[in-house]
Amino acid sequence: MRIGVDVGGTKIEAIALDSAGKIAARRRMATPRGDYDGTLDAIAGLVRELETETRTRARVGLCMPGALSPATGLIKNANSTWLIGRPFDTDLARVLDRPVRLANDANCFALSEATDGAGAGARVVFGVILGTGVGGGIVVDGAPLTGPNAIAGEWGHNPLPWPRDDERPGPECYCGRRGCIETFLSGPGLARDHRVATGEDLSAEAIVSRAGDAITRYTERLARALAHVINLLDPDIIVLGGGLSNIESLYDEVPALWSDFVFSDHVATRLVRNRHGDSSGVRGAAWLWPK
């Protein structure tokens, strides 16, 4: 049995996953915001409850926004800011009395889809979260690729490639630069693009349901952004997740557009929608302990 825990800014979710990938038990609770020891206790409590219910001792993996810095062994880049600068994995290993594995949400998403989701059986999977932010994760032969900086796949803060004149220098990004892929392809980025073009303030969901010009621009920008990834990584499959992965037309239209930018006579990479949806965080966390 594996236990996967998804530590979000508002809730912590935990599942017990059997070896066939079936969820045997599930727990959810509000995140003790701002309380580091409380967060450790909450996770330990959820693990204990799941182990009691399933009558096993499990391996535990964690998914969180943010990463362990290989340089310091401490959490960095987390929007749950009370975890930043803490040795979260070693503290958890202590309270749970076992080693734990930890990965960021994009890596967990990619791993979940690569293991038994839409990317199952593919050798190189690029998983993309198109939501409030834009993140990416890479899985090769069933294992997440992290790298010495723990940022492999984080292309959301690369610039939008092959920009048109009206896309330069691009919107300001919280990372301090302008024109990042995230500023165009996140939900807030889509809403901004629609607002600038029409003067109308709409949510990303409303813009998606109308399927107008903003979606046409979004589709073409996503094609360029992914062509960049294909040129560098040449993945077998690209899996989309997050709220904007619900734009049905992307799956036909983006591959029709990206061939103009990919340096190849033919593009065999497939673009697919995720299978596990909101469960990809907990499922990917559990699969940090491979079969």
Part in contact with Zn ion (CB under 5 A); list of ranges 51-59, 122-130, 172-180, 249-257? 172-180
What are the tokens at 270?
């497939």
Cα 141 to chain centroid, rounded: 18
Residue of 27, 101, 157, 283 that binds Zn ion (CB under 5 A): 157
Cα 172 to chain centroid, rounded: 22
180 binds Zn ion (CB under 5 A): yes
Part in contact with Zn ion (CB under 5 A); list of ranges 77-85, 168-176, 201-209, 265-273? 168-176
Residue of 58, 173, 207, 254 that binds Zn ion (CB under 5 A): 173
175 binds Zn ion (CB under 5 A): yes
Part in contact with Zn ion (CB under 5 A); list of ranges 57-65, 69-77, 150-158, 257-265? 150-158
* Beta carbon of residue 279, minimum distance to Zn ion (angstroms, whole number): 28
Residues in region 272-291 near Zn ion by CB under 5 A: none
* Beta carbon of residue 181, minimum distance to Zn ion (angstroms, whole number): 8
Nearer Cβ to Zn ion (117/159): 159
Nearer Cβ to Zn ion (2/157): 157
Residue 137 near residue 144 (C-beta atoms within 8 A): yes
* Beta carbon of residue 225, minimum distance to Zn ion (angstroms, whole number): 13
Part in contact with Zn ion (CB under 5 A); list of ranges 32-40, 79-87, 88-96, 180-188? 180-188
Nearer Cβ to Zn ion (157/194): 157
Nearer Cβ to Zn ion (12/173): 173
- Residue 171's φ and ψ, nearest 5 degrees, are -65, 155
**Distance from C-alpha of 190 to C-alpha of 272, rounded to nearest angstrom:** 21
185 binds Zn ion (CB under 5 A): no
Single-letter code of the amino acid located at 177: R
Which strands make up the sheet holding 59-64, listed edge to edge?
Answer: 23-30, 11-17, 2-7, 59-64, 100-104
* Beta carbon of residue 177, minimum distance to Zn ion (angstroms, whole number): 5
Nearer Cβ to Zn ion (27/157): 157
Q: One symbol per residue from 102 to 141: x for binding Zn ion (CB under 5 A), - otherwise; what is it? A: ----------------------------------------
- Residue 221's φ and ψ, nearest 5 degrees, are -70, -40
**Where do contacts with Zn ion occur on this chain (CB under 5 A)?**
157, 173, 175, 180
